[in-house]
């Protein structure tokens, strides 16, 4: 027999819940003038108005369009008897002559008891206990939380865990942990950057010194030099202490020689200018919210003695935290990198050395103030969050830098300039296989690194500009051409900032970006055609039927988790996704094929075992809520055969009791 061992990946901790769950049906709202019949759009518009009158929908904000005169945009949150639904937000675009588009996830037929057994005070304690953390932030909020197995009445709050801010949801009746994820997602003087390049540094004077506090732009940009003091850095991020003037980067003569500080401060300013010049946006929130930028959280020479969590967070990383910093309104932190030969033959630059990395992290702030794709990283929204940051990270570089292979030249490899030699880490939008990322929707896997799936959107963005052929589908795209990249950038930015809801899927993003191109350039325009072709090429359509995907990654270490499996063995990630109907999994079959393609083994498993196994995207259940995912990871072998393939077929029933069958692709397993 081939062997299967469930991989022990603790992406989050959850318990199976005994109370019955409400199982309504989320329904995507994606209707727009020109893409739907006038009757469809009118019906949804009337539905939104009726829900506003009944207070099932409430206006969160209204904004005037920065790209099209006469347009305005509403963001609305959905409530159930006064309790907000997480991800239940809707966007509505209106012109002088009526509604143009409605996007979102409408939760219908939900009958859930919203009186919690736990008080808000007791919930605050449960949140801290669930993650062994300390209280952080505001009081617990009572919410309705859609997960893959249904709707939960939950409390949401934040906690401080080992120097990190964690978002936590607990059951509002039992206090059991439902979901957790990190909130960490990054006068004029002269200075020199990490590659020896000269830059102008916007500064002002303070107590007789020059400081990296930008007085030239309407939105304040303050860059802090934490001088390697990790304890103080964490205390400021966690709002346990306040920043002091001495924390701001300073220089006596306004000739700056610290490349990390220079790059971070200058690139943050360039990103502000990119947003304004390209999109007419006033800073990361369109209201000139200040940018708090932190450098030197640790000392590079201490990397050899730093614990792994510190290396992964403050050396080989950059992150944005939406609730961190001096006023709790966000901060970006750039890791210190690693000296040459810490990894054999490699130097890792400080993470502020690359403009696309600085812009990537600050785009998380843009997303946090608009679409709020800050939901669970183990979701399509989490992958889209990373994808849009890649898109506008790379786009910022193309806006300022020449193209080419040399350092400080723009390319479609996000993060290429972080290493010497170049490109040893990063994600390629032009050729995702080059960086072992997904180029097609059938290759996605939820439950792992959200950056991996995000490259699907990045590749669609690349194809819409440059044109080309997708390697997996073989479909070709006629792009608008590099000279017209602004058209595609504006369409994607418009979709992100005014059309997409927080629960966006790839399918919804397809519709929103096409609508954005239609808004800006007209129906049948070259940008609309290019974006439509690009989504076709990467296999993204509106999500109506169930699908499944499997990804082998033998490079992922699973020490001690693969038991007595034969060598070679593989770790595979598996995702089962519901379409427009809720599903109940009744059976799933694992087929193994040897190197000749012959069936080697077949293992048939029950729906109950599915509930026990597929618990990495939410509490395990044999049910999958419409428009959600169930995911897991396994270790498998092929009886010692060095190559072969595997496939899983799922049998399910939908809301009407009809049987459905869907499968992963047959996935090749080869040593790398």
For every residue of 583-650, DSSP letters joined together read EEEEEEEEEEE-TTS-EEEEEEEEHHHHHHH--SSSS--SEE-TT-EEEEEEEEE-TT-S-EEEEEEE
R_g of the chain, CA atoms, integer Å = 25
Mean pLDDT, to the nearest integer, of 456-484? 98
What is the phi/psi pair of residue 137, to 5°? 80, -155
Average pLDDT, the chain: 89
Mean pLDDT of 382-397: 96
C-alpha span between 466 and 456 (Å, rounded)? 15
What distance in Å separates the CA atoms of residue 458 and residue 427, rounded to the nearest whole number? Answer: 9
CA distance 4 to 636: 5
Q: What is the tens place of the pLDDT at every residue in 642-663?
A: 999 999 999 999 999 999 999 9
SS (H, E, C) 73-84: EEEEEEEECCEE
Task: State the pLDDT at residue 3.
Answer: 63
Fold of the 193-353 domain: Elastase; domain 1 (3.10.170)
Query: What is the distance between the alpha carbons of residues 637 and 236, in angstroms, rounded to a whole number?
Result: 48
pLDDT surpasses 80 at 487:
yes
Q: Which tokens hold the place of 173?
A: 């009746």
632: its two tokens: 């897991």
90 pairs with which residues across the strands?
A: 76, 104
pTM of the model: 0.92
- pLDDT tens, residue by residue, 583-615: 999 999 999 999 999 999 999 999 999 999 998
Interatomic CA distance for residues 401 and 359, integer angstroms: 13
- The Cα-based distances of 640 to 1, 555, 597, 644 in angstroms read 11, 18, 15, 10
Q: Is the pLDDT assigned to residue 81 strictly greater than 50? A: yes
Distance CA(297)–CA(291), nearest Å, equals 17
Instruction: Quick: pLDDT tens for 546-559.
Output: 999 998 864 444 44
What span, in angstroms and rounded, lies between the C-alpha atoms of 498 and 95? Answer: 14
Residue of 488, 570, 497 lying closest to 534 (CA atoms): 488
Residue range 381-410: mean pLDDT, rounded: 93
Residues 6+ apart with CB under 8 A from 415: 354, 356, 357, 360, 425, 426, 427
Distance of CA 456 to the CA centre of its chain: 12
Judge whether 521 and 487 are in contact, CB under 8 Å: yes
In this prediction, residue 13 carries a pLDDT of 24
Give the pLDDT confidence of 188-199 residue by residue, as tens digits. Answer: 677 878 878 888
The residue-averaged pLDDT of 396-411 equals: 91
CA–CA gap between residue 509 and residue 387 (Å, rounded) = 11
- 638-671 CB burial, b ≥16 within 10 A, e <16: beebeebbbbbbbbbbbeeeeebebbbeebebee
Banded model confidence at residue 7, pLDDT cuts 50, 70, 90? very low
Distances (CA, A) of 403 to 275, 396, 398, 492, 671: 20, 12, 7, 21, 35
Q: Which comes out higher in pLDDT, residue 615 or 225?
A: 225
Pick the CATH number of 4-11+544-669 from 1.10.1740, 3.10.450, 2.60.40, 2.60.120: 2.60.40
Cα separation, 81 vs 370, whole angstroms:
25
Distance CA 362, CA 291 (A): 8
Q: Is 283 exposed, middle or buried (0-12, 13-18, 19+ CB in 10 A)?
A: buried
- DSSP letter string, 622-640: SEE-TT-EEEEEEEEE-TT
Helix (H) or strand (E) holding 334: strand 331-334
Long-range contacts of 240-246 (CB under 8 A, 24+ apart): 242/326, 243/326, 245/206, 245/207, 245/211
Those residues with Cβ within 8 angstroms of residue 238's Cβ, 6 or more apart along the chain or in another chain? 136, 160, 163, 165, 324
For residue 15, pLDDT over 50 is answered with no
**What mean pLDDT is predicted for residues 356-364?**
96
Query: What are the strands, taking DSSP E only, across 363-478?
Result: 413-414, 419-420, 427-428, 468-469, 476-477
DSSP codes joined into one string, 17-33: --SPPB--EEEEEEEEB
User: What are the E-state strand segments in 39-176?
Assistant: 57-64, 72-80, 83-95, 98-108, 134-147, 150-161, 164-171
CA-based end-to-end distance of the chain: 24
Rounded CA-CA distance 360/330 in Å is: 15
Q: Which CATH architecture has domain 25-108?
A: Roll (3.10)
> Is the distance from CB of 582 to CB of 624 less than 8 angstroms?
yes
Residue pair 606/580 in contact (Cβ under 8 Å)? The answer is: no
Per-residue pLDDT, 578: 93
Q: How many residues does the chain have?
A: 672
3-state secondary structure of 49: helix
The torsion angles phi and psi of 594, rounded to 5 degrees, stand at -80, -175
Q: Which two tokens stand for residue 169?
A: 């949801």
Q: What are residue 231's phi and psi, to 5 degrees?
A: -60, -45
Q: Higher confidence at residue 30 or residue 429? A: 429
Lowest mean pLDDT among 10-24, 113-127, 275-289, 494-508: 10-24
CA–CA separation, 153 and 171 (whole Å): 6
Does position 287 have pLDDT exceeding 80, yes or no? yes
- The residues with which 573 forms a beta bridge, in sequence order, are 551, 633
Domain boundaries, the chain: 4-11+544-669, 25-108, 193-353
225-249 average pLDDT score: 95
Condensed to tens digits (0 to 9), the pLDDT of residues 31-72 reads 555 555 667 788 888 989 999 999 999 999 999 998 999 999
pLDDT (tens digit per residue) in 157-167:
999 998 889 99
CA-to-CA separations, 204 to 208, 214, 257, in angstroms, rounded: 10, 7, 17
In tens, the pLDDT along 231-241 reads 999 999 999 99
Instruction: Tell me whether strands 331-334 and 291-295 are parallel, antiparallel or unpaired.
Output: parallel
pLDDT digits (tens, 9 = 90+) for 93-144: 999 988 999 998 888 888 889 999 999 999 999 999 999 999 898 899 999 9
């Amino acid at each position: 027999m081939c062997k299967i061992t469930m991989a022990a990946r603790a992406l989050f901790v959850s318990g199976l819940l005994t109370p019955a769950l409400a199982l309504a049906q989320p329904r995507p709202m994606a209707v727009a003038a020109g893409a739907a019949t006038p009757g469809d759009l009118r019906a949804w518009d009337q539905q939104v108005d009726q829900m506003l009158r009944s207070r099932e929908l409430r206006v969160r904000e209204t904004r005037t369009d920065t790209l099209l005169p006469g347009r305005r945009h509403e963001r609305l949150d959905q409530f159930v008897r006064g309790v907000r639904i997480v991800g239940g937000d809707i966007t509505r675009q209106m012109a002088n002559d009526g509604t143009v588009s409605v996007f979102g996830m409408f939760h219908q037929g939900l009958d859930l008891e919203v009186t919690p057994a736990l008080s808000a005070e007791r919930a605050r304690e449960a949140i801290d206990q669930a993650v062994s953390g300390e209280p952080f932030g505001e009081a617990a909020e009572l919410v309705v939380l859609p997960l893959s197995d249904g709707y939960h009445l939950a409390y949401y709050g934040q906690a401080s865990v080992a120097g990190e801010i964690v978002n936590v949801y607990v059951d509002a009746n039992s206090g059991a942990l439902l979901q957790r994820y990190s909130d960490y997602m990054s006068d004029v003087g002269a200075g020199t950057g990490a590659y020896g390049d000269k830059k102008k540094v916007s500064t002002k004077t303070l107590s007789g010194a020059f400081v990296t506090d930008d007085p030239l732009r309407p939105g304040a940009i303050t860059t802090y030099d934490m001088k390697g003091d990790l304890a103080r850095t964490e205390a400021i991020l966690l709002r346990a202490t306040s920043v002091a003037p001495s924390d701001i980067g300073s220089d006596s003569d306004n000739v700056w020689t610290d490349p990390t500080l220079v790059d971070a401060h200058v690139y943050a300013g360039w990103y502000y200018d990119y947003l304004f010049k390209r999109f007419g946006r006033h800073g990361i929130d369109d209201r000139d919210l200040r940018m708090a930028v932190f450098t030197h959280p640790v000392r590079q020479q201490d990397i050899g003695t730093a614990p792994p969590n510190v290396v992964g967070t403050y050396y080989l990383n950059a992150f944005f935290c939406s609730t961190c910093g001096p006023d709790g309104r966000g901060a970006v932190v750039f890791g210190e990198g690693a000296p040459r030969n810490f990894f054999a033959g490699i130097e890792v630059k400080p993470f502020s050395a690359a403009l696309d990395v600085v812009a990537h992290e600050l785009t998380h702030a843009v997303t946090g103030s608009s679409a709020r794709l800050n939901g669970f990283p183990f979701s399509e929204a989490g992958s889209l969050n990373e994808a849009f940051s890649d898109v506008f990270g790379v786009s910022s570089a193309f806006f300022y830098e020449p193209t080419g292979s040399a350092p400080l030249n723009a390319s479609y490899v996000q993060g290429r300039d972080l290493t010497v030699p170049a490109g040893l880490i990063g994600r390629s939008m032009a050729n995702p296989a080059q960086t072992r990322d997904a180029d097609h929707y059938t290759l996605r896997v939820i439950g792992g690194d959200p950056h991996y799936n995000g490259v699907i959107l990045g590749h669609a963005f690349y194809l819409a500009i440059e044109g080309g052929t997708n390697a997996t589908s073989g479909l070709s795209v006629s792009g608008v051409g590099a000279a017209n990249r602004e058209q595609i950038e504006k369409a994607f930015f418009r979709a992100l900032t005014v059309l997409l809801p927080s629960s966006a899927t790839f399918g919804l993003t397809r519709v929103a970006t096409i609508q954005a191109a239609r808004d800006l350039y007209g129906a049948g325009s070259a940008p609309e055609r290019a974006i439509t072709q690009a989504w076709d090429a990467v296999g993204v359509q509106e999500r109506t039927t169930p699908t499944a995907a499997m990804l082998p990654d033998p490079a992922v270490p699973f020490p001690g988790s693969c038991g007595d499996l034969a060598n070679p063995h593989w770790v595979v990630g598996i995702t089962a996704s519901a379409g427009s109907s809720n599903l109940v999994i009744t059976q799933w079959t694992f087929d193994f094929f040897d190197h000749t393609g012959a069936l080697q083994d077949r293992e048939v498993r029950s729906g109950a075992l599915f509930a026990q196994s597929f618990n990495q995207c939410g509490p395990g259940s044999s049910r999958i809520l419409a428009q959600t995912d169930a995911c897991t990871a396994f270790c498998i072998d092929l009886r010692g055969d060095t190559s072969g393939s595997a496939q899983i077929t799922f049998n399910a029933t939908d809301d009407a009791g009809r049987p459905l069958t869907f499968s992963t692709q047959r996935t090749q397993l080869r040593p790398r």
